[in-house]
Amino acid sequence: MRLGLVIDLDVCVGCHACAVACKEWNASGTTAPMTDYQPYGAEPSGVWFNRIRHYEVGEYPNSKTINFPMSCMHCEDADCVTVCPTGASYKRAEDGIVLVDQTKCMGCNYCSWACPYGARELDRESGTMKKCTLCVDRIYDLKIPVEERQPACVNTCPAHARMFGDFDDPNSAVSIEVRERGGYALLPELGYNPTNQYLPVRKAKPIPTENLGKPGFKEKLKGFANRIVKR
């Protein structure tokens, strides 16, 4: 098994719900707590497994805002595991999930240096490294209804921009989507072979902003109405 996430960049609306749900679930999960520093103070900061960034791609008027969630990619060739001197970082043979054993970590930060995706964050309170667990304590929990045995981020995403599954199974939903929509990995040149894949933004016609031609009857009517109605 090779469990991981697919993130549909065409669909993500950038609401940060996944990050919040992640924090909520994992605050009491296997690597808990997820410490906040000055949560109500002047410089709020803290540990998150999942962060959403926002980019502008292309130049105006053919530009697009793309919301970009990132968490641990559960890489196949995860240097974060090889460099760890204590053995706290490990990759599970049975499902490919990369985890940090909180009882072994000495907080040297070395694994975070080795991770190109910024997926690991040191918890200053516990002195140990924290990272996405793919909600390992949730996806295998038999007390949870079958359809909810998914990572918290996937469960909560209101836009359904996230998908969770087994990439080793060519018939799984994640494999099919990646195959059909040209899913890709980030920073492929570094050779980490991340499991998580991103679905590109679909091609959309640019919305014209110049040389719009003469307005039609409908536009004229709208313009007339706009002029006489006081707002």
Q: Please report whether residue 66 would count as binding ligand SF4 according to CB under 6 A.
A: no
Among 106, 144, 173, 221, binds ligand SF4 (CB under 6 A): 106
Query: Can you tell me which of 36, 86, 91, 181 binds other proteins, judged by CB under 8 A?
Result: 86
Q: Is 108 in the site for other proteins (CB under 8 A)?
A: yes
Taking a C-beta distance cutoff of 8 angstroms, is the pair 122, 129 a contact?
A: yes
**193 near other proteins, rule: CB under 8 A:** no
Residue from 23, 120, 130, 138 binding ligand SF4 (CB under 6 A): 120
Of the candidate spans 29-37, 54-62, 112-120, 158-166, the one that interacts with ligand SF4 by CB under 6 A turns out to be 112-120
**Tally of CA atoms within 13 A in the half-sphere of 183 that contains its CB:** 21
Residue 131: CB minimum distance to ligand SF4, A:
5
| Other beta carbons less than 10 A from residue 190's beta carbon | 14
198 contact choice in ligand SF4, other proteins, none (CB below 5 to 8 Å, kind-dependent)? other proteins
Chosen residue from 34, 66, 73, 174 binding ligand SF4 by CB under 6 A: 73
131 is a contact residue toward ligand SF4 (CB under 6 A): yes
The least distance separating ligand SF4 from the CB of residue 70, rounded to whole angstroms, comes to 9
- Number of residues interacting with ligand SF4: please give it, by CB under 6 A: 28
Half-sphere exposure for 52 (CA within 13 Å, toward CB): 20
Nearer to ligand SF4, 56 or 77 (CB): 77
CA of 113: how far to CAs of 5, 116, 167, 184, in Å?
Answer: 23, 8, 27, 23
Interface with other proteins, residue 191, by CB under 8 A: yes
